[in-house]
Amino acid sequence: MIIPSILIETSTAIAQLPSVDWASSLPTLSQALTNPPSSMVPTPISFVSTILLVTGSDMIPFLPCQPLAITLGATYGVYAYPMCVIGQTIAGVLAFRAARLASDSEKVLGLLDNLNGEAQTKFEEFKRLGTTEQESQVFLALVGLRLAPFFPFSIGNYLLGAGTGVGLRPFLLATICGCLLSNLLSVSVGIGGSELLQQQS
């Protein structure tokens, strides 16, 4: 009940603000898409090389992917979004397949020991998924796992490939959904931060 009352109070306070033409004072997403600054438009070579950079960095276990997505959002604006989604999806599939092929390796399964208690518990639950559950249930569980802050994206790719019976199709679809949602937030933070800095200078 606290959240609805806060929303009501906030909307009431906003309605009482003096009339300001916010649309003309802040750039909109449609303006950024139709008339982006030339510094933000990536060349084909920078587009591909950035995807490769995202793919390479997201294949390193325990390396957070959000700082790179935020930086790319500040650099390339809305163009960073597809670059991050494509790069992270490729990294996920490559890591998943590599771990699946090397699933008998003690090094791959030893990565589980580095996770915190909550992440280990969730991973143990996922070990039982994939072979007996319906694909739709596995997909929904994977999307939830992809968006969970306690389960690192990069290490999850390896652990799901090495230690579960999850199929490639639900893994790929859940990874795409997770990348779409998480990168929307990260790239938006980068774009917003860049716009704030440009307005202050």
Calculate mean pLDDT across residues 144-167.
80
Average pLDDT, the chain: 76
Calculate mean pLDDT across residues 90-99.
93
Q: Give counts: helices (H), strands (E), the chain.
A: 11, 0
Integer angstrom CA distances of residue 69 from 20, 106, 138: 32, 32, 27
- Express each pLDDT in 107-136 by its tens digit: 656 666 666 777 777 766 666 655 555 777
Closest to 147 measured CA to CA, from 111, 122, 117: 122
**Burial of 108 by CB count in 10 Å (0-12 exposed, 13-18 middle, 19+ buried)?**
buried
- The number of residues in the chain equals 201
Give the per-residue pLDDT at 2. Answer: 40
- Judge whether 96 and 160 are in contact, CB under 8 Å: yes
Measured at the CA of 40, the angle between CA 185 and CA 174, to 5 degrees, comes to 35
